[in-house]
Structure 1
Amino acid sequence: MSKPLIGVSTYLESSVRWGVWHQSAALLPAGYHRLVQRAGGLAALLPPDDAPTSAASVVSRLDALVIAGGPDVEPLRYGAEPHERTGPPARERDAWELALIDAALAAGLPLLGICRGMQLLNVALGGTLVQHLEGHVGPPGVFEHHEVKPVPGTLLARITPDAVSVPTYHHQAVDRLGEGLVVSAHAAEDGTVEAVELPGDTGFVLGVQWHPEAGEDVRVMRALVDAAATARD
């Protein structure tokens, strides 16, 4: 039986250098596709599309969807004015990934949001974000680690039942929860929401604030791949 096809959203950068080239590029840290592969899936990268209405067609070809980490979600998406520490908007990516999330939820496709992806899932369901908090970002480009505690009885607690140290790099977080979402993990030190999920008959819908692609723990991604295989069968 073929491996499940896992779509992973990407960055869209206006100026990237490689070899003799200096061009705009769709890109993604290799940790993402390698984590999908280590977890037993096939990775397909999903760069922003100029026509977000094509998201449903893309989703129909996938067995699961990952919304990757990246830049801050534009505050206008959740009715807020930009904080002075909020980064510049990535409007093409916001529009594309929100369309992918909506299509995945409508289709019952297994969905995993990572960092920005968790935040965008929350926004897609009507929630808001804390635009800046201290203590969750180390030096530029360096992942820090801190402990998160799963909430008993949740999907995440079934995947990772005990407190775990995770790689993290973010300065924003979930504030008001989106409709239907429940918190499934907190940061041990300050209580920051570290995971959310959509319970009930919706299938596998999970967002984690940390970066599993930057570590060695494959359990979250393997759970997504397993859910994708089960849903396909």
Structure 2
Amino acid sequence: MNVFVLTGIMGLLASVVVGTGEYLLHYDPLARFAAGGFGFMQGIGTDRTTIGHFLGVFGALLYPIGCYHLYLMLKPASNKLAFSAFIIGSMGFMVGVVWIGSRASISALMQLPESAEIDALVALYDLRYETLLQVVRLTTLFLSIIFIVLILKGKTHYPKWMAFFSPILLIVASFLVYLAVPQLGKHVMPIALNVAFFIVFSLSVLVALKNKPRVCLVDGEVK
């Protein structure tokens, strides 16, 4: 198994483990997350959120390896842009670890009776941690733009059709699924980013297995 396939599998594993953890943290059968706020967390048990917390945190540590896989696959088109995608994606997931590591705590707060003190803590959480979520979304957007641009140049290890499966487009597709088929979408929406990267890494590993790209070392450097 070469480094292309191995790193792709690590990214795929990250999407599965983090997706499972985030589903445990966020899934609400009433889909109250669509209304905004944290009310959808009311009634979620501590055992469930504790398991989701550890799955999400430790699983997310594998995502930068998946970003390295994307770098290797995109590198022939532009080493600088591909490496930028690796850095941007890795930074986003490192920030994401902090964010997902906070979700069990806000869930616990939402189980308490409403009060001015609790509302103040929730507002502080919103400022400190939901801001981090916006960073994750922005890094995913920038990663996706580089992904699309380089693939359309036609010099990566990907076929050009792979550009249609960029993370940001797949996240948008998850929201469209929710609007079109709410009973299905309510399972996808809470973990949309992980679903997107699951599809990206699944297809990417299949492409790597089919094309069998290789890393060559020249003067000790990856070429």
**TM-score over 0.5 for the pair:** no
Q: Which structure: larger Rg?
A: 2
The structure that is strand-richer by fraction is: 1
| Structure with higher RCO (Cα < 8 A, 6+ apart) | 2
Task: Calculate the TM-score normalised by the size of structure 1.
Answer: 0.28
In the superposition, the TM-score normalised over structure 2's length comes to 0.29
